[in-house]
Amino acid sequence: MAILSVNDYMSAGKDEFSITKTATRTSVAAVPFSVFDLAGQPGAGTLAGSSTAAGVVPTDATPGCPLINAFAGGAEGMLTKIDYSSSVACTITLYDLLFKAGAYAFNANTALAGQPSFAGRIPADDLASELWIEAVTAFTGTPSFAVTYTNELGVAGKTTGTISAGAALTLGRMFRMPLDGQDRGVSVVQNVAGSVATVGTFNVLVMRRLARMRVPVAGFADTLDLIRCGRKRVYADSALVAVVAADSTSTGLPDLAIQIANK
Protein backbone atom coordinates (compact mmCIF):
# COMPACT_ATOMS: atom_id res chain seq x y z
CA MET A 1 0.00 0.00 0.00
CA ALA A 2 1.05 3.62 -0.44
CA ILE A 3 1.99 6.16 2.24
CA LEU A 4 -0.99 8.51 2.21
CA SER A 5 -0.93 10.09 5.66
CA VAL A 6 1.33 10.96 8.58
CA ASN A 7 0.01 7.87 10.37
CA ASP A 8 1.04 5.74 7.38
CA TYR A 9 4.48 7.32 7.55
CA MET A 10 4.85 6.71 11.27
CA SER A 11 4.03 3.02 10.89
CA ALA A 12 6.06 2.49 7.71
CA GLY A 13 9.38 0.69 7.52
CA LYS A 14 12.29 3.08 7.08
CA ASP A 15 15.72 2.78 5.49
CA GLU A 16 18.42 5.41 6.06
CA PHE A 17 21.72 5.80 4.22
CA SER A 18 24.12 8.46 2.94
CA ILE A 19 25.61 9.88 -0.22
CA THR A 20 28.76 11.63 0.98
CA LYS A 21 31.81 12.66 -1.05
CA THR A 22 35.31 12.99 0.38
CA ALA A 23 36.97 14.16 -2.85
CA THR A 24 36.24 17.15 -5.06
CA ARG A 25 36.20 17.81 -8.81
CA THR A 26 37.19 20.95 -10.69
CA SER A 27 33.99 22.41 -12.05
CA VAL A 28 32.59 25.44 -13.87
CA ALA A 29 30.42 27.83 -11.88
CA ALA A 30 26.67 27.14 -12.12
CA VAL A 31 27.19 24.12 -14.42
CA PRO A 32 26.10 20.58 -13.41
CA PHE A 33 28.86 18.04 -12.77
CA SER A 34 28.82 14.36 -11.95
CA VAL A 35 30.42 13.30 -8.67
CA PHE A 36 29.60 9.62 -9.22
CA ASP A 37 33.22 8.50 -9.62
CA LEU A 38 34.58 10.42 -6.63
CA ALA A 39 35.56 8.78 -3.34
CA GLY A 40 33.10 8.75 -0.48
CA GLN A 41 30.17 6.75 0.86
CA PRO A 42 29.17 4.75 -1.03
CA GLY A 43 32.54 4.22 -2.72
CA ALA A 44 33.43 5.67 -6.10
CA GLY A 45 31.52 4.37 -9.11
CA THR A 46 32.83 3.98 -12.65
CA LEU A 47 32.03 7.01 -14.80
CA ALA A 48 32.34 5.32 -18.21
CA GLY A 49 29.33 3.34 -19.34
CA SER A 50 29.78 -0.39 -19.98
CA SER A 51 27.61 -0.70 -23.12
CA THR A 52 27.36 1.43 -26.26
CA ALA A 53 25.30 -1.11 -28.22
CA ALA A 54 22.36 -1.46 -25.85
CA GLY A 55 23.02 0.48 -22.66
CA VAL A 56 22.29 -0.76 -19.14
CA VAL A 57 19.79 -0.08 -16.36
CA PRO A 58 21.78 0.75 -13.21
CA THR A 59 20.39 -0.41 -9.85
CA ASP A 60 21.19 0.05 -6.18
CA ALA A 61 23.67 -2.83 -6.63
CA THR A 62 25.71 -0.74 -9.09
CA PRO A 63 29.00 0.36 -7.48
CA GLY A 64 28.72 4.05 -6.60
CA CYS A 65 25.01 3.86 -5.72
CA PRO A 66 23.76 3.41 -2.13
CA LEU A 67 22.25 0.01 -1.33
CA ILE A 68 18.52 0.17 -0.53
CA ASN A 69 17.09 -2.53 1.71
CA ALA A 70 14.36 -4.67 0.18
CA PHE A 71 10.81 -3.52 0.87
CA ALA A 72 8.22 -5.74 2.53
CA GLY A 73 6.07 -7.66 0.07
CA GLY A 74 3.77 -5.35 -1.87
CA ALA A 75 5.10 -2.19 -0.16
CA GLU A 76 5.70 1.08 -1.99
CA GLY A 77 8.73 3.23 -1.25
CA MET A 78 8.75 6.99 -0.83
CA LEU A 79 11.49 9.56 -0.34
CA THR A 80 10.62 11.02 3.07
CA LYS A 81 13.65 12.96 4.37
CA ILE A 82 17.00 14.37 3.21
CA ASP A 83 19.41 16.09 5.57
CA TYR A 84 21.87 17.90 3.31
CA SER A 85 24.90 20.16 3.37
CA SER A 86 28.06 20.93 1.41
CA SER A 87 31.45 22.53 1.89
CA VAL A 88 30.68 24.99 -0.96
CA ALA A 89 27.70 27.01 -2.09
CA CYS A 90 25.94 24.90 -4.68
CA THR A 91 22.77 23.24 -5.91
CA ILE A 92 22.53 19.48 -5.38
CA THR A 93 20.03 17.43 -7.35
CA LEU A 94 19.17 13.85 -6.42
CA TYR A 95 18.21 11.53 -9.29
CA ASP A 96 17.24 7.95 -9.93
CA LEU A 97 19.61 6.93 -12.76
CA LEU A 98 17.33 4.88 -15.03
CA PHE A 99 19.54 4.19 -18.05
CA LYS A 100 23.19 4.61 -18.97
CA ALA A 101 24.79 4.08 -22.39
CA GLY A 102 28.41 4.73 -23.30
CA ALA A 103 31.13 5.57 -23.35
CA TYR A 104 30.80 6.95 -26.91
CA ALA A 105 33.57 8.55 -28.94
CA PHE A 106 33.20 12.25 -29.77
CA ASN A 107 32.19 11.35 -33.37
CA ALA A 108 29.98 8.33 -32.64
CA ASN A 109 26.84 7.59 -34.61
CA THR A 110 25.43 4.50 -32.95
CA ALA A 111 22.04 2.85 -33.35
CA LEU A 112 21.13 0.99 -30.17
CA ALA A 113 19.37 -2.39 -30.17
CA GLY A 114 18.15 -4.72 -27.44
CA GLN A 115 17.90 -1.91 -24.90
CA PRO A 116 16.80 -3.04 -21.42
CA SER A 117 13.53 -1.56 -20.13
CA PHE A 118 13.41 0.76 -17.13
CA ALA A 119 9.60 1.09 -17.22
CA GLY A 120 9.38 -0.50 -13.77
CA ARG A 121 11.12 2.54 -12.27
CA ILE A 122 8.72 5.11 -13.75
CA PRO A 123 5.54 5.74 -11.70
CA ALA A 124 2.35 5.55 -13.77
CA ASP A 125 1.29 8.99 -12.50
CA ASP A 126 4.66 10.68 -13.16
CA LEU A 127 6.21 9.77 -16.51
CA ALA A 128 8.72 12.64 -16.56
CA SER A 129 12.42 11.93 -17.04
CA GLU A 130 15.46 13.86 -18.26
CA LEU A 131 18.04 13.15 -20.96
CA TRP A 132 21.66 14.05 -20.19
CA ILE A 133 25.13 13.96 -21.73
CA GLU A 134 27.96 13.17 -19.27
CA ALA A 135 31.61 13.78 -20.19
CA VAL A 136 33.70 10.70 -19.43
CA THR A 137 36.93 12.32 -20.66
CA ALA A 138 37.74 15.92 -21.48
CA PHE A 139 36.87 17.20 -24.96
CA THR A 140 38.95 19.16 -27.44
CA GLY A 141 36.68 21.50 -29.35
CA THR A 142 33.04 22.27 -28.65
CA PRO A 143 30.99 19.12 -29.23
CA SER A 144 27.47 18.78 -30.56
CA PHE A 145 25.12 15.91 -29.76
CA ALA A 146 21.95 14.42 -31.20
CA VAL A 147 19.82 11.70 -29.60
CA THR A 148 16.87 9.90 -31.17
CA TYR A 149 14.47 8.40 -28.65
CA THR A 150 11.02 7.02 -27.88
CA ASN A 151 9.06 9.41 -25.67
CA GLU A 152 7.16 8.70 -22.46
CA LEU A 153 4.00 7.81 -24.42
CA GLY A 154 5.76 5.26 -26.62
CA VAL A 155 6.13 7.46 -29.73
CA ALA A 156 9.36 6.42 -31.46
CA GLY A 157 11.60 8.48 -33.74
CA LYS A 158 11.58 11.62 -31.63
CA THR A 159 14.79 13.67 -31.72
CA THR A 160 16.58 16.31 -29.71
CA GLY A 161 18.02 17.80 -32.89
CA THR A 162 21.75 18.55 -33.03
CA ILE A 163 22.59 20.60 -29.94
CA SER A 164 25.92 22.30 -29.25
CA ALA A 165 27.30 21.96 -25.73
CA GLY A 166 28.53 25.55 -26.00
CA ALA A 167 31.97 24.75 -24.59
CA ALA A 168 34.63 22.06 -24.56
CA LEU A 169 33.38 19.63 -21.92
CA THR A 170 35.71 18.80 -19.03
CA LEU A 171 35.75 15.57 -17.02
CA GLY A 172 32.41 14.96 -15.34
CA ARG A 173 30.65 17.95 -16.90
CA MET A 174 26.98 17.30 -17.67
CA PHE A 175 24.77 18.77 -20.35
CA ARG A 176 20.99 18.35 -20.41
CA MET A 177 19.49 17.63 -23.82
CA PRO A 178 16.15 19.24 -24.74
CA LEU A 179 13.29 16.93 -25.67
CA ASP A 180 11.13 17.39 -28.74
CA GLY A 181 8.01 19.54 -28.51
CA GLN A 182 5.95 18.80 -25.42
CA ASP A 183 7.64 15.49 -24.59
CA ARG A 184 8.09 15.00 -20.85
CA GLY A 185 10.30 11.94 -20.81
CA VAL A 186 12.24 9.18 -22.54
CA SER A 187 11.37 5.49 -22.51
CA VAL A 188 13.96 4.20 -25.02
CA VAL A 189 17.19 5.69 -26.41
CA GLN A 190 17.37 4.71 -30.09
CA ASN A 191 20.41 6.47 -31.56
CA VAL A 192 23.33 8.52 -30.23
CA ALA A 193 25.50 10.84 -32.35
CA GLY A 194 28.35 13.21 -31.62
CA SER A 195 30.09 15.69 -33.90
CA VAL A 196 32.41 18.73 -34.26
CA ALA A 197 34.87 17.93 -31.42
CA THR A 198 38.12 16.08 -32.10
CA VAL A 199 38.73 14.39 -28.72
CA GLY A 200 36.45 13.23 -25.92
CA THR A 201 34.09 10.46 -24.79
CA PHE A 202 30.65 10.68 -23.27
CA ASN A 203 27.71 8.80 -21.79
CA VAL A 204 24.01 9.26 -22.46
CA LEU A 205 21.85 9.11 -19.33
CA VAL A 206 18.11 8.98 -18.65
CA MET A 207 17.36 10.18 -15.13
CA ARG A 208 14.30 10.81 -13.00
CA ARG A 209 14.58 13.82 -10.72
CA LEU A 210 13.70 13.21 -7.07
CA ALA A 211 14.81 16.35 -5.19
CA ARG A 212 16.69 19.59 -5.64
CA MET A 213 18.52 21.22 -2.72
CA ARG A 214 20.12 24.65 -2.45
CA VAL A 215 23.22 25.31 -0.31
CA PRO A 216 23.42 29.14 -0.37
CA VAL A 217 26.70 29.43 1.56
CA ALA A 218 29.50 27.03 2.40
CA GLY A 219 28.65 24.81 5.36
CA PHE A 220 24.92 25.52 5.23
CA ALA A 221 22.72 22.58 6.27
CA ASP A 222 18.98 22.00 5.94
CA THR A 223 16.38 19.24 5.84
CA LEU A 224 13.78 18.30 3.28
CA ASP A 225 11.10 16.72 5.43
CA LEU A 226 8.16 14.51 4.47
CA ILE A 227 6.26 17.43 2.93
CA ARG A 228 9.21 19.12 1.21
CA CYS A 229 10.28 15.85 -0.40
CA GLY A 230 7.08 16.03 -2.46
CA ARG A 231 5.90 12.40 -2.14
CA LYS A 232 8.41 11.16 -4.71
CA ARG A 233 8.20 7.43 -5.21
CA VAL A 234 11.43 5.43 -4.90
CA TYR A 235 12.01 1.77 -5.72
CA ALA A 236 14.00 -0.87 -3.87
CA ASP A 237 16.37 -1.08 -6.87
CA SER A 238 16.59 2.68 -7.59
CA ALA A 239 20.10 3.84 -8.56
CA LEU A 240 20.40 7.08 -6.59
CA VAL A 241 23.01 9.61 -7.76
CA ALA A 242 23.77 13.23 -6.92
CA VAL A 243 24.60 15.95 -9.45
CA VAL A 244 26.29 19.14 -8.21
CA ALA A 245 26.19 22.63 -9.76
CA ALA A 246 28.61 24.65 -7.64
CA ASP A 247 28.70 28.44 -7.45
CA SER A 248 32.48 28.28 -7.80
CA THR A 249 35.04 26.05 -9.53
CA SER A 250 34.93 23.07 -7.17
CA THR A 251 32.14 20.57 -6.58
CA GLY A 252 33.02 20.63 -2.89
CA LEU A 253 32.02 17.88 -0.48
CA PRO A 254 28.26 17.24 -0.67
CA ASP A 255 26.69 15.26 2.18
CA LEU A 256 23.19 13.76 1.95
CA ALA A 257 21.53 11.67 4.67
CA ILE A 258 18.53 10.06 2.98
CA GLN A 259 15.47 8.33 4.40
CA ILE A 260 13.14 6.11 2.39
CA ALA A 261 9.92 4.86 3.97
CA ASN A 262 7.97 1.90 2.64
CA LYS A 263 4.52 0.56 3.40
pLDDT in tens, 118-144: 999 999 999 999 999 999 999 999 999
pLDDT exceeds 70 at position 1: no
pLDDT exceeds 90 at position 21: yes
pLDDT exceeds 90 at position 3: no
Residue 162 has what pLDDT? 98
pLDDT band at 4 (very low <50, low <70, confident <90, very high): confident
Percent of the residues in the chain that have a pLDDT greater than 70, as a whole number: 100
**Signed CA dihedral, 113, 179, 256, 89: sign only:** positive
Q: Quick: pLDDT tens for 239-263.
A: 999 999 999 999 999 999 999 999 9
What gap in Å lies between CA 29 and CA 220, rounded to an integer? 18
Mean pLDDT of all residues in 73-79: 92
Q: Quick: pLDDT tens for 226-238.
A: 999 999 999 999 9
What is the end-to-end Cα distance of the chain in Å, rounded?
6
Q: What is the DSSP string of 143-208?
A: -EEEEEEEETTS--SEE---EE-SSPPPTTBEEEEPPSTT---EEEEEEEEEES-SB-EEEEEEEE
Domain ranges of the chain: 14-118+126-262
Average pLDDT value for the chain: 97
pLDDT exceeds 80 at position 208: yes
What gap in Å lies between CA 224 and CA 86, rounded to an integer? 15
